[in-house]
Structure 1
Amino acid sequence: MMHVSDLDRSVQFYRDVFSCTVELRAEDSALLLTPDGFQIYMHAKSAFHSGDAGATGVLYIMWSTDSEDEFAQVAQRFREHDPSASVQTADGLSLLDGCDPDGIRVVIAYPSPTQFPREVIAARFRG
């Protein structure tokens, strides 16, 4: 479940960048599906403040792509929403780092862990 400040804006972002479809929609909530069936529930919260999760909650969302071409396409679509999104590549792993419309950090990786098994948890993911 993601709390968002503007449901329409957030739905459009996840549709544009990750090719999600809207499975269900209510006045203040939506269920989005990725092409592979991953579910994202969103709820518009009028008193939302980015970073209000406190010590627990969503720090960022991480996705991976199956091909370098898909990674490049997602990166291009992402930058249309967040021009400051950046790509870093090291040791065969590329990471796109940016923010969704509510400032929630989104990281996209290529290759996926199933294609390129990780041997350590990178320092950036340990707090």
Structure 2
Amino acid sequence: MGSEPARGPDRGSRLASVVTFVRDLDQSVEFYRELLGMRVTVRTSTAALLVGSDETQLYVRAIGPGGEHPLGAVGVQYVIWTADSIEDLHRCERALKERSAHTTTREMADGYTMVEGRDPDDLPLVIAYPGPQVAARSEIMPRIYAW
């Protein structure tokens, strides 16, 4: 039996990976690679694993042109990513605008900024700065009721 590391008050489960199904693998891999600054570490003809600078993983799997993702159905609706800096958030905003995928940018009452857009499959995408470790969220954001 191995011993487990001590767990302090700030330790616990963390999000490690996100899995998303897409219509076009190449298009989605390039989009997420550019927007989130992730690197492709594994790739097959139908899937890819992208890894961020903090080792967060994004699995992208192609399911073809007929795939659907109904908003408002049970299940994950979107993921909120955290930018490394305000400059990185502005870079993400520019990248979304260059692809005509930017929806809005909002200054939130809790002291953070959210950039919203859509990925190549029209899935909602949110990037915030700073992350909740720096600017703790004290209310339910209205955005979760708006999709």
Instruction: Spell out the pairing of 1:6-17 with structure 2 (5 A cutoff).
Output: 6-17=24-35
Identity of counterpart residues, as a percentage?
32
Residue identity in the other structure for 1:109: A
1:88 corresponds in structure 2 to: 106
Asked whether the 8 Å contact 1:24–1:30 carries over to 2, the reply is: yes
Instruction: Spell out the pairing of 1:79-118 with structure 2 (5 A cutoff).
Output: 79-91=97-109, 92-118=111-137
Structure 2 gaps, min length 5 = 1-18
TM-score scaled by structure 1? 0.88
Asked whether the 8 Å contact 2:21–2:60 carries over to 1, the reply is: yes
Asked whether the 8 Å contact 1:4–1:42 carries over to 2, the reply is: yes
CA distance in 2, matches of 1:38, 1:82: 26
Moved over 4 A (4+): none
Match of 1:69 among 84, 87, 111: 87
Matched residue SS, 1:85: strand
Matched residue SS, 2:79: strand
Cα 1:53–1:123 shift into 2, 3 Å: closer
Asked whether the 8 Å contact 1:13–1:81 carries over to 2, the reply is: no
Matched residue SS, 1:60: coil
Q: Is the counterpart of residue 2 in structure 1 residue 33 in structure 2?
A: no
Q: Deviations over 1:52-104 (max 9, x none)?
A: 47722331121112321121112112222234431011322211111000011
CA distance in 2, matches of 1:8, 1:118: 35
2:77 corresponds in structure 1 to: 59
Match of 1:18 among 20, 29, 36: 36
Match of 2:141 among 111, 122, 127: 122
Q: Deviations over 1:17-43 (max 9, x none)?
A: 011111100011111101111111111
Higher relative contact order (CA 8 A, sep 6+): 1
Query: For the aligned residues, what is the CA RMSD?
Result: 1.9
Structure 1 gaps, min length 5 = none
TM-score scaled by structure 2? 0.77
Matched residue SS, 2:107: strand
Structure with larger Rg: 2
